Chain A
Amino acid sequence: MDASVAMYVAQGIHGLAYGMILFLVASGLTLIFGMMGVLNLAHAAFFMLSAYFGYQMLAWTGSFWLALLVAPVLTAVFGILMERFLLKKVHAFGHMGELILTVGVSLIVLDGVKAVWGTESLPLKMPPILEGLVQIGGMQYPIYRLFIIAMALMLLAILSLVLYKTRLGMVVRAAVSDAEMVNALGINVPLVFMCVFGVGTWMAGVAGVAIAPILTVFPGLADQMGMDAFVVVVVGGFGSLGGAFLVSIIGGLISSYGVQFLSQYAAVLMFVFMAVALAIKPMGLFGERE
């Protein structure tokens, strides 16, 4: 492959890989908002918390795979506890109460990780099997980034299947549409919502562990991803999984090709895209007017 073509192809794959990480974080956020109407500002903090759990699991067991399996589950447990004992109580008071509560939880999580793990950057090593490079059309590309793309696509497929092709998914969608009616049918709606919240935080947890080998685990991790994920959810349309997916990919590609062609504006291109998209479709690309 010609060197300049290889460079553009590589930038495209970088965009996809970053887009997939964005999707993993943003999907949980949009899922929770779409299903429950809760804007969870602690979402990025859960993403960071999972990276710390992953670091700890790896330190204890030496297994990245166990860390990838257990840390998101632990994070989901925290998410469920938050929904069950905190969010549920303020839900009746509207969005303002939820916003304040989730900001408070994110601050507690931030101080909690500092108290437990300190403030230094911690390493989370990728498994040896995912280290190194692979040849793609005469170009070398890191295996780990391809793994991230594959994993995110797999999760999207599973999530879509469950939501749109199973009875469980049907119940969730019905509960979102008319909670009272579903409750009257004998289905435990609060339990359904709690599970949705758990799945949303679990997705953030998966993203936290997945990205940790590329970055370092430190208390600023939440800030690093939080804003980009929020942009994805807003532009994709609150609650739209498809919207989140599409905008994540576009965001990733804007990020990498922006560096290539408009380097000095790379940091703001995503926000320019947001402004343009919202000017055309104020509810987001796939958002629906209530």
Chain B
Amino acid sequence: MKTMKRLLAVTIFLSLMGLLLASAVPAEEMKPKATFDFNKFPDMSDFDPNQPVEPGGDTIKIAIVASFSGPAAAVGEIYYACVAWAAHTINKQGGLMVDGKKKMVQVFKADGQSKPDVTKKVTERMILQENVDFLWGTNGSHLQKVINQVADKYKKISVNAASLSDELQEGQDFSRYSFMTTFSTEQIGRTAAYYYGQVRKKEKKFYILCQDYLFGHSMAEAFKKGIKEYYPEAEIVGEDYHKLFLTDFAPYLTKIKASGAEVVYTGDWIPDAANLLKQARQMGITLPFVDIFMNEPRFLVEVGIEGTKGLVNIGQYGIGNPAFRNEEQIKYHKAWQNARTKWKAPYDTVLYTHPSGNIGAYITSVYWLLSVVERAASTDPDKIIKVWEDDVYQGPSGNVYKMRACDHKQIGLLTVQEYVPPEEQKQSYNIPPYYWFKDCSNAGPVHEVPIEKNLPKADPTLCK
């Protein structure tokens, strides 16, 4: 009997060790196979998204399928500035050697108008008429799903740099032609829970307020899962889902206040994120929000330094403090800032101040794609897939990303940024003027959440 018990104990111990080892990501697995080469970084002072230099002839063609009209048109313009910046970098270096020829990178705008049917139409037009090699998108999982389906049908590579739902790369939705170069809802929810349960260890009462559609519910589920895993003593004191583009958040905020919550977890994006924060502060509710999109500087400035203090933002672009660790990174950052002084509307706003955060992540995704193209020496989808699967790339921020081969999801370190007033931002923004933004709180202390603690959801039918 005693022997049996010992055997059982050893078995359990070994199983647990096995699980731990399986979930950990060995350091050599994250050793970059390619790195953003600062030595090749050209003079970018002539880059202007208002007047892009369009290369002619035989080019590597990337179509940005996004909203360039309608209420979300600003999103398409952000994407364009990012993709065009990365393309300009490569073009100034003389292009890439592809299929035995030096080719420049050409960028196309494909306006999906935030509508699935239009998105399908323009994506097909890009493939059939413009002959694009790569599809890059987009704002909304339902739209990205359409892009991925079209990519699969025509055997073109689709890069998802902005839609966060894990489901896009799972089950029947998975396509070997689609690559997710962004963090996912699962990673975000678990990272938030890890931060509060394992790093901060203060607040214990959380309220979930998300938008009432797939993405909002996925964000909430991921957070609840993370809380169970990393912070079991914490309590979800309330959970609500509101309609998109809500006008009045006051009833929700009153409920939140009455619930005794210490933190509000939300996946809301603009304009809901902006209205939620503004209305909370107008109502005297000073609770911190933990989020991913409550970082748009224009409305943060409107809410002011006090109102934005204590916000917690989860990011995928940077690493821990300080943000700039070498001269090359500073040079790169300054190159963007110098170039943007000439940009006109819609690229002349405070949103484009820094090539970091979401902007940094979008740019990095294009650099990664082009690095894969360079190493594959081809735009042929099968060759691209071969290089990209299990590829590990280090972007300009120093963060390292891996493309998980089984489901084409990005794995990487995530950061949790605590927002502090400008005078305390030096610990993060360690170059003059020593703050990210003068008129609002922004990243101060930045915590790294290790890769093995934030792994994206793995579909067991794909990742065995």
Q: Which residues does A use to contact B, with CB under 8 Å?
A: 3-4, 7, 10-11, 14-15, 17-18, 21, 114, 118-123, 125, 131-133, 140, 142, 144-145, 211, 214-216, 218-220, 223-225, 228, 255-260, 263-264, 266-267
Q: List 13 A-B contacts (CB under 8 A).
A: A4-B258, A7-B255, A10-B254, A119-B72, A121-B271, A123-B299, A214-B278, A214-B282, A216-B299, A219-B73, A223-B245, A256-B254, A259-B242
Is there contact, CB below 8 Å, between B282 and A215? Answer: no
* Interfacial residues of chain B within 295-329, with CB under 8 A of chain A in the complex: 296, 298-299, 301-302
Given contacts A123-B301, A255-B251, 19 further A-B contacts (CB under 8 A): A7-B258, A14-B251, A118-B74, A118-B349, A119-B77, A121-B270, A121-B274, A125-B302, A140-B284, A216-B274, A216-B275, A216-B299, A216-B302, A256-B254, A259-B242, A260-B251, A260-B254, A263-B240, A267-B243
- The CA of A21 and the CA of B72, in the complex, are separated in Å by 25
Residue of A nearest to B275 (CB): A215
**A13 CB, min distance to chain B CBs, angstroms:** 9
Is there contact, CB below 8 Å, between A224 and B302? Answer: no
**A256 touches which one: B251, B257, B274 (CB < 8 A)?**
B251
Is there contact, CB below 8 Å, between B242 and A145? Answer: no
Residue among A119, A215, A219 having the largest count of chain B Cβ atoms under 10 Å: A119
Q: Write out the residue numbers on chain A whose beta carbons fall within 8 Å of the beta carbon of B255.
A: 7, 259-260, 263
Give a binary string over B229-250; 1 marks a CB under 8 Å from any A CB, 0 the rest.
Answer: 0000000000011110111101
Cβ of B24 under 8 Å from chain A: no
Cβ of B1 under 8 Å from chain A: no
Q: Write out the residue numbers on chain B whose beta carbons fall within 8 Å of the beta carbon of A228.
A: 247
Is there contact, CB below 8 Å, between A142 and B351? Answer: no
Cβ of B149 under 8 Å from chain A: no
Q: Is the interface of A mostly helix, strand, loop or mixed?
A: helix
Taking A214-B279, A214-B282, A216-B299 as contacts, is the C-beta distance between A17 and B71 under 8 angstroms? no
Taking A120-B351, A123-B298, A125-B302 as contacts, is the C-beta distance between A218 and B251 under 8 angstroms? no
Nearest 4 CB-CB pairs, A to B? A220-B71, A259-B251, A123-B302, A119-B74
Is there contact, CB below 8 Å, between A120 and B298? Answer: yes
Cβ of B212 under 8 Å from chain A: yes
Is there contact, CB below 8 Å, between B351 and A219? Answer: no
Residue among B71, B73, B351 having the largest count of chain A Cβ atoms under 10 Å: B71
Cβ of B346 under 8 Å from chain A: yes
Q: Write out the residue numbers on chain A whose beta carbons fall within 8 Å of the beta carbon of B298.
A: 120-123
Cβ of B345 under 8 Å from chain A: yes
Is there contact, CB below 8 Å, between B252 and A259? Answer: yes
Is there contact, CB below 8 Å, between B278 and A133? Answer: no
- The CA of A235 and the CA of B250, in the complex, are separated in Å by 24
- The CA of A223 and the CA of B70, in the complex, are separated in Å by 11
Cβ of B7 under 8 Å from chain A: no
Taking A125-B302, A223-B71 as contacts, is the C-beta distance between A144 and B251 under 8 angstroms? no
Is there contact, CB below 8 Å, between B271 and A216? Answer: yes
Q: Write out the residue numbers on chain B whose beta carbons fall within 8 Å of the beta carbon of A17.
A: 248, 250
Is there contact, CB below 8 Å, between A224 and B247? Answer: yes
Is there contact, CB below 8 Å, between B71 and A119? Answer: yes
- The CA of A223 and the CA of B247, in the complex, are separated in Å by 10
Is there contact, CB below 8 Å, between A120 and B282? Answer: no
Is there contact, CB below 8 Å, between A142 and B212? Answer: no
**B248 touches which one: A4, A14, A122, A267 (CB < 8 A)?**
A14
Is there contact, CB below 8 Å, between B242 and A266? Answer: yes
Residue among A145, A215, A264 having the largest count of chain B Cβ atoms under 10 Å: A215
Q: Write out the residue numbers on chain B whose beta carbons fall within 8 Å of the beta carbon of A260.
A: 251, 254-255
- The CA of A264 and the CA of B217, in the complex, are separated in Å by 12
Q: Write out the residue numbers on chain B whose beta carbons fall within 8 Å of the beta carbon of A214.
A: 248, 275, 278-279, 282
* Interfacial residues of chain B within 262-288, with CB under 8 A of chain A in the complex: 270-271, 274-275, 278-279, 282-284
